[in-house]
Amino acid sequence: MDKNRFGICEWVMPVSGAEAIRLAGDIGFDGIQLTERGGLEAGHPLREKKLQQEYLKAADETCITLQAMHLWSLCRLAGMIHPVDSPAGKIATECINIAVDICYALNISTLMLTSGFICNIKNETDFCNFGQHLMNACDIAGEREIQVVFESTLPALRIQQMIEKVGNGLMVCFDIFNPIRFHYSKPENEIVQFGRSVIHHFHVKDGPQDMVGCSLLGDGAGGFQKVIEAINTVGFTGWFVSENYYCEFPLNKQGSFVELARKDLKTMRQALRGL
């Protein structure tokens, strides 16, 4: 991609589905990163053709790109830290297979898998099991020419080790605040350490010193300007997707969702327009 594009995560919005797609377009975003609408625990509703058509119609009418499908519910299940052939591992594989089918139906080119919550990688066994699931996901998604992207709260070195272990074109989503929130590293250093070639897109957020909730971009402890300089250094162009939780404390005390999201979109466009 030779220019920057700006999106928002569905799960930080006050609405979901086709309504969220339309709202993202009304605010001025270029795209939206979707969840699987509850996934396994909701009976995989996005397999329904009628619902898929609603999404596609909303995207077409608003000129919004469905930037990625994030298996939001899967990182709240422990499947991917268990062996692939275990009962929990088989559930994860089933979810990935269904998600790839949904991505294909919705013309979504990217599938995101995250190690977080109860699926967080805590030890070497978890690391190896998760890596095997990523290998399988890359094989399954590759048949439909869908890119698998890995997001994790692990330090950059461990994420790089995962990329080397999995191979098969695996890329990463880099959250610019996670290194601070979870392991007290500097995101600008990790961006340079990764370089341009393995970063698929950025999750963009900021947060206060006490790490409770989020802050508007540039107003928090995330060193937003230094992050922009690091992005300049590596020469990245592509997707920047807001993951600021506008509807939660303390941001929800500073204005409406639309007002706050528009402010961050303006900040992103101004900061990254020269890249």
Contact 254, 216 (CB under 8 A): yes
- Name the residue type at position 207: G
Cβ neighbours around 234 below 10 Å, total: 14
Query: Could you give the CA distance from residue 210 to residue 110 in angstroms, rounded to a whole number?
Result: 33
pLDDT of residue 1: 66
The label of the residue with tokens 């920057």 reads 4
Do you know the residue count of the chain? 275
Cβ neighbours around 50 below 10 Å, total: 6
Which one, of 246, 237, 238, 239, lies nearest residue 264 by Cα? 246
Domains for the chain: give ranges and CATH numbers: 5-270 (3.20.20.150)
pLDDT of residue 115: 95
Helix, strand, or coil (residue 58)? helix
pLDDT of residue 184: 73
pLDDT of residue 275: 43
Those residues of the chain that have pLDDT short of 50 are 274-275
Q: Please tell me whether the overall predicted TM-score, pTM, comes out greater than 0.95 for this model.
A: yes
Contact 24, 64 (CB under 8 A): yes
pLDDT of residue 33: 98
pLDDT digits (tens, 9 = 90+) for 165-196: 999 999 999 999 999 998 778 999 999 999 99
Query: Could you give the CA distance from residue 122 to residue 130 in angstroms, rounded to a whole number?
Result: 11
Helix, strand, or coil (residue 233)? helix
